[in-house]
Structure 1
Amino acid sequence: MNSFLVGFKPIISINAKILILGSMPSSTSIKLQQYYGHPRNTFWPIMSTLLNENSDNNYSSRKDWIISNNIAVWDVLQNCERTGSLDANINSSTAKANDFTRLFNDYPNIKQVFFNGKLAEKLYKQYVLPSLNNQYNYLTYYYLPSTSPAYAALKLEQKIEAWKVINQSMVK
């Protein structure tokens, strides 16, 4: 049975320069009301390594250190129907994207967008990019391997290595 799911508000501050986008929170994340809440999702361990933060921090502390590093976290989809947690089970006919025109207008310091996984990139290109006008041509986009426990093609160390591009972007 499909469940109608509603995503979260972004973790963001006016100083955000980097936006990391997922597709839609998992069932576990929605239950916990936390981005990347599944205990086997590697997002928080990767980010704690990149930002030299304690990965054992509570969710509130994790959000604080994301914000203090001028990073924002959001999902491409605002809501959708999905069976279970797998992105592959998203019913595309029910998918509605978040309002990125408003986000980029409200947070003009965002210059780089990183996709956490191929589906986030695909959904953005399908639902968001066509609605953005030329005033957003300054944005640069990067694909990153998914932190989802369902994506087991890479080990944690390999994912960390791929995600280091965020550190390089923070220096710019």
Structure 2
Amino acid sequence: MSAPPRLQGLPPVLDASTRVVVLGSFPSVASLRVQQYYAHPRNHFWAILGLLWGEPLTQWPYEQRLDAVLARGLGIWDVYARCERQGSLDSAIRAAELNDLAWLRQRCPALRAVAHNGGESWRHARHTRALGVAVERLPSSSPANARWSLAHKAQAWARVLARHGVPVRPDVWQQPVDEV
């Protein structure tokens, strides 16, 4: 069996007005192939944000999605800069190198919170706590997280993002989950 390939992550999607950064673990094979965050069609990331903002993000071109994210004070990045991995599962990540998470404070002066997208990212919360901002754990948007429905994920994400100044439709997290 050959050694897993050494992979390079994607550049961050951030600017000076970013209030919340969603940190994933490392891009999937599909994301790396097209150089787009959350490109796997079954990943709920864009569907969640679409529900929260009342926009059909999954139907928009990638660059337009990124514009919508930045316009609302949201950023996207990963905890790992590089790693070895066969496939897309977090459990297959080996020899990972962390991104320079401290750089977030310089790049994002309006930063209020870091929201870890899933358990593998959350394992590095000690590093993001050192930034002096709120640190939150989101249910993973990954298709591997089948325990959470899209509606439940959207409600959890809405609460976290709204708490830290990212606008969301209040009806998403104030109504019973069956109606989302």
TM-score, normalisation: structure 1: 0.89
Question: Are 2:117 and 1:89 aligned?
Answer: no
Per the alignment, residue 67 of structure 2 pairs with 64
Q: How does 1:11-160 map to 2 (within 5 A)?
A: 11-55=13-57, 56-91=59-94, 94-125=95-126, 128-129=127-128, 132=130, 136-137=131-132, 139-160=133-154
TM-score, normalisation: structure 2: 0.85
Shift of 1:124: 4.2
RMSD over aligned CA atoms reads 1.7
Question: Are 2:38 and 1:4 aligned?
Answer: no
In 2, the alpha carbon distance for the partners of 1:117 and 1:160 equals 14
Shift of 1:85: 0.5
Deviations, residues 50-80 of structure 1 (Å, cap 9, x unaligned): 1222221110110000000011100000000
Shift of 1:167: 2.5
- Name the aligned partner's letter for residue 169 of structure 1: H
122 and 73 in structure 1: CA distance in 2 versus 1, 3 angstrom threshold = same
Gaps of 5+ in 2: 168-180
- Name the aligned partner's letter for residue 144 of structure 1: L
Deviations, residues 79-126 of structure 1 (Å, cap 9, x unaligned): 0001110000001xx11111112221221211101011011010343x
List 4+ stretches of structure 1 deviating above 3 A.
Answer: none
Deviations, residues 129-168 of structure 1 (Å, cap 9, x unaligned): 59x4xxx32x101111000011101111111111112123
129 and 42 in structure 1: CA distance in 2 versus 1, 3 angstrom threshold = closer
Q: For this pair of structures, how many residues does the alignment match?
A: 163
Give 1:168's match in structure 2, choosing from 148, 163, 169. Answer: 163
Gaps of 5+ in 1: none
Query: Sequence identity of aligned pairs in percent?
Result: 34
In 2, the alpha carbon distance for the partners of 1:158 and 1:146 equals 11
In 2, the alpha carbon distance for the partners of 1:69 and 1:171 equals 6
